[in-house]
Amino acid sequence: MLELPFDPSKRAEQVENLIMKGLSRKYYRLRPARYYGGIATADLVGCSFLCAYCWNYGRNLHPYEADGRYYSHHEIAKTLLKIARKKGFNRIRLSGAEPLLGQSSFEHLCGLLEEINQADPRMEFVLETNGLLIGSDTSFTKRLAEFKRLQVRVSLKGWDGESFERVSGAQGRFFEVPLNGIKNLLDAGVVAWPAIMYEIFGQKGIAKISEKLKALAIKPEELEIEYLEKYPFVIENLRKRAVHSF
């Protein structure tokens, strides 16, 4: 039984051991999606956070037991490119869980980025992350800066330690790490921006996180607003954690 709040760095290590076999990673679905104007999407299993509003909550809570299979970066690149070409998309992404858990998952991602870039240098890659790994070590952002068609969307889970802890399930002392991740990316020359869930933050939460972003020289006007998918289990998770906007 996972006790909240937890240390997300330790959870990242534990989860990576479950969802990686060598440099192959566990995925459960590959599909076209409507977001970003149309994008080929590979849905992952396994996350360092356990967000109350996550639509993939069950698989991320129990990543080893979750449905799915292990793919090499070559297999994922080949399938995503096929989906993108068939649908006329010019974007690819990983979604559903955290792409960056540790060194093995990072090398899997870099292999995927390299293969996609070689196959189609015009293809854009959107990396959706919680920012924990890239906020902890600048060596990761320096490596990501090598990929010129990469765009990174960092999902922020709260506007202070308390809200971060209730939403993500991770200890509040890690609140600043994703913010540092955005700064590390921008300092390395990577296209990156923050994103938040409107129903969680509300106007007051948006104002508070905007001040945090300004302090790090991150433009708050680049803050992406997303909206809650109100699945019954999501509403129940939010209720149990007493998560609501202020």
Tokens describing residue 192:
């990156």
Over residues 176-213, the pLDDT tens digits come to 999 999 999 999 999 999 999 999 999 999 999 999 99
Long-range CB pairs of 33-36, under 8 A, 24+ apart, other chains included: 33/93, 33/95, 35/93, 36/91, 36/93, 36/126
Angle between helix axes 8-19 and 103-119 (nearest 10 degrees) is: 60
Residue 246 has pLDDT above 60, yes or no: no
Rounded CA gap, 128 and 130, in Å? 7
Strand ranges (E), the chain: 20-21, 24-33, 39-44, 69-71, 91-95, 124-129, 150-155, 191-197, 224-226
CATH number at residue 87: 3.20.20.70
Mean pLDDT of the chain: 95
Question: Strand pairing partners for 195?
Answer: 155, 224
- The verdict on residue 41 lying in a domain is yes
**Domain ranges, residue 30:** 8-240
Q: How far is CA 150 from CA 12, 58, 71, 125, in A?
A: 23, 29, 21, 5
Total number of domains constituting the chain? 1
Q: Are 52 and 234 in contact (CB under 8 A)?
A: yes
Tokens describing residue 197:
């869930």
- The verdict on residue 167 lying in a domain is yes
- The verdict on residue 170 lying in a domain is yes
Tokens describing residue 4:
């909240």
- Give the chain's radius of gyration (CA, Å): 17
pLDDT of residue 23: 96
Residues 6+ apart with CB under 8 A from 128: 93, 94, 95, 99, 153, 155
How many residues does the structure list for the chain?
246
- The verdict on residue 3 lying in a domain is no
Place of tokens 């870039």: 117
- The verdict on residue 121 lying in a domain is yes
Q: How far is CA 236 from CA 5, 31, 33, 218, 239, in A?
A: 18, 28, 26, 34, 5
Instruction: Examine residue 5 and say whether the peptide bond preceding it is cis (omega within 30 degrees of 0).
Output: yes
Over residues 104-144, the pLDDT tens digits come to 999 999 999 999 999 999 999 999 999 999 999 999 999 99
- The verdict on residue 124 lying in a domain is yes
How would residue 1 be classed by pLDDT, with cut points 50, 70 and 90? low
Rounded CA gap, 82 and 90, in Å? 11
How would residue 216 be classed by pLDDT, with cut points 50, 70 and 90? very high
- The verdict on residue 198 lying in a domain is yes
Among residues of the chain, what percentage have pLDDT more than 90?
94
pLDDT of residue 2: 83
- The verdict on residue 101 lying in a domain is yes
Angle between helix axes 198-215 and 161-168 (nearest 10 degrees) is: 140
**What's the pTM value of the predicted model, to 2 decimals?**
0.95
